[in-house]
Amino acid sequence: MRIKNPIIISQFGPPALAAIRSWGRRGARVGLIQIVAEGEPVPQSRYLADHIAMTADDLLNGDGLARAITFMRDFGADILLPINEQFACLLDENRHLLPAGIKLMFSGAEATRAVLSKSRQIETARRLGMCLLPTWEIGGGNFDFSVFSAEDFPLCLRPAKPGGVRPSFKVQIARSTKELDAFIGGIKQFGSPVLAQPFTNVPNLVVHGARGPDGTACGVEGFIVARKFEGVTLTIRPFAISDELRRQCMAFVEEFKVIGPYHFEFLYDPATGTPWFLELNSRLGGTTAKVMSCGYDEPAWALKAFGYDVDPGRTRTDVTASSKKAIGKFLLSALKGKLTPLDYPDEPRWKRIVMALYGFAAWRDDVFAWDDLPAAMTLYGLTLNGKKQVEKVRT
């Protein structure tokens, strides 16, 4: 079985581009339903056959779903891959409207919503024997902060569900009970708890993989994040994981009935070799394009999990991948002295500047490709034709 006309629903960013290139290089005619904000560039890639664009609000609340389905039919789509949990839920709940025979490369709405709960993830990780940091669930300003001792700080705070609190945030460091009380007191609405865990200044370990609708597991491989900027991946390279961790990851996605590509995030203690569970994301993500630069083709592994006749290739253990744009931002922050505890490792400013300059030359970029320069230039902000999205493009 060979892939023919897949469609991706996503912003035009590195994860979507990784899938476009992976499938396009295998002879597929790839389409994109681009989720845009005003001013974003029109997507360009030699491997992109056609696209339409709409805002997220249009897709979720307006006439965008009808336009998207019309595009799927006209394009002759045989695979649908959204890179957003909200879109996956919407499509699953309206699968009766989708073209007949289209394969859905994502989990069902029930499974997706279950995965979005970090509280449920932590319960599952504990049951499967994964290592967990001490975790507290803070459900409001009346939480008893006396449970924390001075040794527990600094704490890393995350919402238990995306958008679960207002105002929303992704991660916050609290260095004392006073800072914690002030931050929690500033939250106006608790739709879900805030998770608090001891802040651990170590690398991240990412485990990528894919699972087919029949339970087929493919490409479960590890990668170490040796450098972080603003708490997210700056550099990544292949890293051997234990058979036990691989087994636990496969059991985890089996329990949640995850379908399609996924990736786990762990904190990794180099001194003990302990991977501390953080979360699972049941979609392509921020490291997808970077690990593809290391030879790990996650979109191809997803095809293989679905029974397609593909060779995903082999991961190169000698490659470190990054993003030229992220390196530039990191360098600017280092020069201005504005790096924070979320920027790992904690080094003298001069060393961080030297490493950033070295990285420009030595680390493989996540979007640059000689066979697809227009796409790279677009994502660098150097569009060849200067076109920008307005509120909508053609239907």
Which CATH number goes with the domain that contains 330?
3.30.470.20
Mean pLDDT of 224-251: 97
CA distance 340 to 333: 9
142 and 14 within one domain = no
d(CA 179, CA 378): 41
Q: Is residue 234 assigned to a domain?
A: yes
Cβ–Cβ under 8 Å, residues 155 and 179: no
pLDDT at 29: 98
Residues 12 and 92 in one domain: yes
| Closest C-alpha among 205, 188, 341, 381 to residue 280 | 205
- Using CA atoms, how far residue 394 sits from 59, 78, 389, in Å, is 15, 22, 11
Q: Please report the pLDDT score of residue 395 as a whole number.
A: 39
Give yes or no for residue 391 having a pLDDT over 80. Answer: no
- Residue 95 is given by DSSP the state G
In this predicted structure, what is the pLDDT of residue 201?
93
Phi, psi of 165 (to 5 degrees): -130, 160
Q: How many domains would you assign to the chain?
A: 3
| Domain ranges, residue 12 | 6-106
- Is position 242 within any domain? yes
| Predicted pLDDT at 382 | 73
Q: What is the mean pLDDT of residues 186-213?
A: 95
Q: Are residues 224 and 297 in the same domain?
A: yes
Tally the C-alpha atoms within 13 A of residue 306's C-alpha that lie toward its C-beta: 26
> Is this model's pTM higher than 0.85 or not?
yes
- On the 0-12 / 13-18 / 19+ scale of CB atoms within 10 A, 278 is buried
Q: Considering the domain boundaries, does residue 188 fall inside one?
A: yes
- Of all residues in the chain, what percent carry a pLDDT higher than 70? 97
CB neighbour list of residue 80: distance below 8 Å, 6 or more residues apart = 6, 7, 9, 72, 91, 98, 102, 103, 104, 105, 106
Q: Which two tokens stand for residue 17?
A: 């581009």
Quick one: 337 and 242 in the same domain?
yes
pLDDT digits (tens, 9 = 90+) for 240-286: 999 999 999 999 999 999 999 999 999 999 999 999 999 999 999 99
Look at residues 152, 158, 191 and name the one whose alpha carbon lies nearest to residue 175.
Answer: 152
Place of tokens 């370990």: 205
Within this chain, do residues 234 and 122 fall inside the same structural domain, yes or no?
Answer: yes
Q: What integer pLDDT is reported at residue 389 of this predicted model? A: 53
- Residue 83 sits in the same domain as residue 209: no
Whether 226 is covered by a domain: the verdict is: yes
71: pLDDT strictly greater than 70: yes
* pLDDT tens string 322-371: 999 999 999 999 999 999 999 999 999 999 999 999 999 999 999 999 99
288 domain-assigned: yes
Same domain, 226 and 353: yes
- Please check whether residues 185 and 241 belong to one and the same domain: no
Pick from 172, 198, 224: which residue ends a domain? 198
138 and 225, same domain (yes or no): no
Tokens 């191809």 sit at which residue? 300
Q: Which residue, of 153, 170, 198, is where some domain finishes?
A: 198
For residue 377, is pLDDT > 90? yes
Residue 278 within a domain: yes
Same domain, 267 and 296: yes
What is the distance, to the nearest Å, from the Cα of residue 202 to the centroid of all Cα atoms in its chain? Answer: 20
Structure tokens at 238: 């292949």
The set of residues, in sequence order, having a beta carbon less than 8 Å from that of 182 and lying 6+ positions away, is none
Specify the pLDDT at position 388: 58
Based on the domain organization, do 158 and 125 belong to the same domain? Answer: no
Q: Find the DSSP H helices in the chain.
A: 14-24, 56-61, 64-75, 85-93, 109-116, 118-127, 177-185, 243-256, 288-293, 298-305, 324-336, 349-362, 373-379
My answer on whether 235 and 188 are in the same domain is no
Q: Which of 89, 106, 123 is the last residue of a domain?
A: 106
> Looking at the predicted structure, is the pLDDT value of residue 24 above 50?
yes
The pLDDT of residue 90: 97
Asked if the structure places residue 27 within a domain, the reply is yes
Kindly state whether residue 143 falls inside one of the protein's structural domains.
yes
Per-residue model confidence as pLDDT tens digits over 135-183: 999 998 889 999 999 999 999 999 998 888 999 999 999 999 999 999 9
Residue 390 clears pLDDT 70, i.e. is over it:
no
Mean pLDDT of the chain: 94
Q: What is the CATH number of the domain that holds 48?
A: 3.40.50.720
Q: What is the mean pLDDT of residues 296-305?
A: 98
Using DSSP's 3-state secondary structure scheme, residue 108 falls into coil
